[in-house]
Structure 1
Amino acid sequence: MNTYKTRGVCSREIRFEIEDNKIKTVQFIGGCSGNTQGVSRLIEGMDVDEAIRRIDGIDCGGRGTSCPDQLAKALKEYKAAN
């Protein structure tokens, strides 16, 4: 299980698992429950690069980031380390 501490959003942390470059599970800790569950379910099973392409740069309320964008950052960090 990988853990990413979020910045600038309501969720505090993202936990995720990657297997064969596919996103196996995603769990947001904190944040808007319905939205983060929706993002998680849509992303699970997706190729890491495709997920990054789709969610990178999404903004929430002018914050310059969002929970999906933070997940993209977490996935990029994971790819750089592996």
Structure 2
Amino acid sequence: MQTLRGLHTHALTGRVFAWLGQYEVEGTEVRWQAWIERDGRPVDRIEGRTVFNSADMTADKAVTVGVHSRIDAADYDDL
């Protein structure tokens, strides 16, 4: 499995989340999981599958888009 990490600012709240992800490529799909943190505290664990079949979409980009969209869709207001 490949690893990837990043930061994402929530689209609505402006809160910054750190994440660490692992992924595996299966043809034109990437299966991923990520651990989300805020201020050094674990917040969530998410997973997904993403298709990346265009010439400019790499596995890293597909995972990043998937993780960021899931963070934006989550309700982390109680943190």
Name the TM-score class by shorter chain.
0.3 to 0.5
TM-score (normalizing by structure 1): 0.40
Q: Find the structure with the greater CA-based Rg.
A: 2
Structure with more of its chain in strand, by fraction: 2
Structure with more of its chain in helix, by fraction: 1
TM-score (normalizing by structure 2): 0.41
